[in-house]
A and B are shown apart, each in its own frame.
Chain A
């Protein structure tokens, strides 16, 4: 895909984040979508392309009154929205549509109008993982980490620093769910969920949503907001069964999607001013820094523990507070994208001064899928 041909011209989250007991999941989609459409200075009639995950496009399009000529329902977990950005950019360039709306919403906490997530007993996961007592992401996403830490010589104290540093970012963000400062001891002494993961190393469970609007870069200059261009993208999938990953020492999906985006963007790692790595659990930024090629995995624990990713550090990471402290409705990728867009517009609560390039990397399922989007505010 060519660089900087498509731009984000509208971006917004739901009016409220956190606990939203007065809205169903479909209405959270609509709330985020209407906010993003207003942000872009458009009306619903201007939207001719639509993408979402979990809910089917016809559900959200009919609810909002959208008549699309292009839809995408790629649903590979929390990074689905990174893939939607990639697919939408290709569709706009190919002339299949002009103005794409991407929505995410999840009543993750209040559980109102949320489709059940069932695993069939005769699926491969149902036969070869469920009988061994796995119960959702905290007991599955976490299984690779002891091998990862041992192979790369990373300590549990260093991993705990991921939570500590992200709380520093969250403290600067009025919309963050958790803002009180943390220490490594606080993290290590918090309630054990699935050894070695304590509760402060596991994502929040909240309600919310977000929406993006994309159009061609040539049209983008006529919109009210500063355009944020798509510089490069990548995607991949590996396996729905965490036990069947090629290795626990890295993520194959990360190692495909990340470098593909860097190659397409034509940038080097030193060019990156701002970085988002989807952090459903505290080990993910460690995997991401290594798999995206910022440094060998062996150095990632020390890099974070030394403060390089905290406010004022040389590689600002997860500047909204992340899934650990900002919010996590279940499919967090949309919120990482929103923060990258805010940083590129220059309006983030914890703004990185003069940031010109933002890398936004997502994970889906338990290392099942990955999507990377590289944004810039320079054309």
Chain B
């Protein structure tokens, strides 16, 4: 049995315990947090600062988008309570340009661009407001830039949700398990009362796999090391006009969105 597998089981065991007793695992200390980070295997992908470049022109149909969202939500046991539920939990989803980049649109922005869907997920900010406010270090930044959640330490105060200016975080307002159609044994389920969000597929990186969304995106989501000038993400940033969400707030988001020069942000050869 590989190291990773054992860690999964350990995690699953802990979360099962929590689910039943709602007991505190405070005694686990920082070790508990490290466990949820996993120990990287020999093929682990590493970086100084992981980041994403999102190119929406690569998503031709709604099905292309759904595939990416489903890939993430199914392997991470993200419950589905319906889109209009106030208790919705989501790690990756789309919203229209005018809502993703508020203030960037104006009265003359073409309708097609305003309405165009953009994929959003946690920006894994270099200066994350969520990490700054968390009173228990349940959300913390790893050395490789991934902003992590330790769902066993989180007390559910939701300070991080007030602090994140991107709406990237979800709270388990109820037991998530009834909302999971096909539970994935590879990833722990959560309990009610904790916050969760995209964790950049840390569990896949540890075994040498790319994030699930990137893998399913036909090149629409590129993942790589922002600190490495020769990485694909840096090349894309160098050769395209890119924007980030609310850069003026100083959280330094690590998701770059390519905006095409035809002004639609969309298909390259419109």
Question: Do A and B interact with each other, yes or no?
Answer: no
Q: Which residues of B are in contact with A by a Cβ distance under 8 Å? A: none
